[in-house]
């Protein structure tokens, strides 16, 4: 399986990267943009899908400060 | 009294940490790939950019072979100090509570700051007076401490100097037992008359149980 893991800052934790992007957009002429958050995406091939949750908790995300979401990538 | 200073690929403050430790005891470099603490009585995890800060600061270093030994040493009550990236590594390893997030300003900060000793009963603050103010430099990009749960606060930035937006001005914390301490400021850069201050020496002297003036 080709898996895609999306990691994002937990709601309620200040996300200065998101704020910086949000503030930059009006300067470029884009209006009506809000609630921007910056996370990261990790893609990986995995033979045993049951490992995914554990590897997200142990390495790919820090559950204290980040939420993650695992999806399957269509080949 | 022998200090061990851990070196990861990407560490950069191990030389200053060794020099600081050597002022109050013996000091030896520990390579991250070893399974051996070489009989050290206290461990320092120094600053830098272990594993290039890839993925998340400190997240990969904690899987280094030597960190397994450091974790066992800490569980047995051995004194362990994490400085800057070392603090981040100890949080990621679960040896300290909380996590470090990017500075609120999104800027790298590098300056001398005032740090108040909030808890003088830890392995690394015994030589300090409660409430004592130390002058120590910070230099980091990811120093905003966050914890959803109450923690044992050891150091706070003095009023008005919080350089990163850290929760409750927290600059350093300890585990419940007080043998593991982590802080963002760099005490190893404040140990010589040529530095802006020698206050950092007190942390190393605390672990070595010698007077801070040594």
CATH 3.40.50.880 is held by the domain B2-208: yes
State the Cα angle at A58 between A53 and A63, rounded to 5°. 80
CB-based contact, A11 to chain B, within 8 Å: no
Size of interface A-B (CB pairs under 8 A): 32
* Secondary structure of chain B in HEC code, one letter for each residue: CEEEEEECCCECCHHHHHHHHHCCCEEEEEECCCCCCCCCCEEEECCECHHHHCCCCCCCHHHCHHHHHHHHHHHCCCCEEEECHHHHHHHHCCCCCCEEECCCCCCCEEEEEEEEECCCCCCCCCCCCCCCEEEEEEEECCCEEECCCCCEEEEEECCCCCCCCCHHHEEEEECCCCCEEEECCCHHHCCCCCCCCCCCHHHHHHHHCCCCCC
CB-based contact, A65 to chain B, within 8 Å: yes
Cα dist. B11→A41, B62, B63, B110 in Å? 26, 13, 15, 17
Whether A16 and B98 lie within 8 Å, measured CB to CB: no
pLDDT at A25 over 70: yes
Tell me, what's the ipTM? Answer: 0.86
Report phi then psi at A65, rounded to 5.
Answer: -125, -10
Whether B146 and A60 lie within 8 Å, measured CB to CB: no
pLDDT of residue B214: 42
Instruction: List chain B pLDDT tens, one digit each, 214 residues.
Output: 999 999 999 999 999 999 999 999 999 999 999 999 999 999 999 999 999 999 999 999 999 999 999 999 999 999 999 999 999 999 999 999 999 999 999 999 999 999 999 999 999 999 999 999 999 999 999 999 999 999 999 999 999 999 999 999 999 999 999 999 999 999 999 999 999 899 999 999 999 987 665 4
Whether B102 and A65 lie within 8 Å, measured CB to CB: no
Q: Is the dihedral of CA B5, B136, B191, B78 positive or negative?
A: negative
pLDDT of residue A6: 97
pLDDT of residue B213: 54
B21 as an active site residue: the answer is no
Domain that holds residue A57: 2-72
Number of independent structural domains in chain A? 1
Which residue of A16, A60, A65 is in closest CB contact with B104? Answer: A16
Q: Where are the domains of chain B?
A: 2-208
Listed in sequence order, the residues at least 6 apart from A68 whose beta carbon sits closer than 8 Å to its beta carbon are: A5, A6, A7, A8, A56, A60, A61
Supply the DSSP symbol for A59.
I
pLDDT of residue A74: 79
CATH number of the domain encompassing residue A46: 3.30.1280.10
Question: In Å, how far is B105's CA from the nearest CA of chain A?
Answer: 7
């Amino acid at each position: 399986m080709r898996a895609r893991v999306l990691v994002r800052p937990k709601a309620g934790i200040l996300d200065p990267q998101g704020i910086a992007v949000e503030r930059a957009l009006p300067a470029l002429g884009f209006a009506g943009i809000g609630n921007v958050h910056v996370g990261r995406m990790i893609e990986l091939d995995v033979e045993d899908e049951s490992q995914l949750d554990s590897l997200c908790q142990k390495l790919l995300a820090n559950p204290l400060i980040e939420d993650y979401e695992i999806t399957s990538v269509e080949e | 009294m022998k200090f061990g200073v851990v070196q990861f690929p990407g560490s950069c403050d191990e030389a200053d940490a060794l020099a600081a430790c050597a002022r109050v005891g013996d000091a030896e470099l520990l390579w991250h790939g070893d399974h051996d603490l070489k009989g050290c009585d206290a461990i320092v995890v120094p600053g830098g950019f272990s594993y290039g800060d890839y993925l998340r600061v400190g997240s990969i270093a904690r899987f280094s072979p030597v960190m397994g030994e450091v974790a066992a040493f800490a569980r047995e009550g051995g004194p362990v100090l994490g400085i800057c990236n070392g603090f981040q590594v100890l949080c990621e390893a679960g040896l300290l509570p909380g996590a470090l997030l990017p500075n609120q300003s999104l800027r790298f900060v590098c300056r001398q700051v005032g740090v108040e000793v909030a808890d003088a009963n830890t392995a690394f603050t015994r030589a300090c007076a409660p409430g004592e103010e130390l002058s120590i430099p910070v230099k980091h990009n990811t120093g905003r401490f966050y914890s959803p749960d109450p923690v044992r606060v050891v150091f706070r930035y003095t009023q008005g100097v919080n350089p990163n937006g850290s929760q409750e001005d927290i600059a350093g914390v300890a585990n419940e037992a007080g043998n593991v301490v982590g802080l963002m400021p760099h005490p190893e850069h404040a140990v010589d008359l040529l530095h802006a201050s020698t206050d950092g020496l007190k942390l190393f002297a605390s672990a070595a149980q010698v007077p801070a003036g040594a």
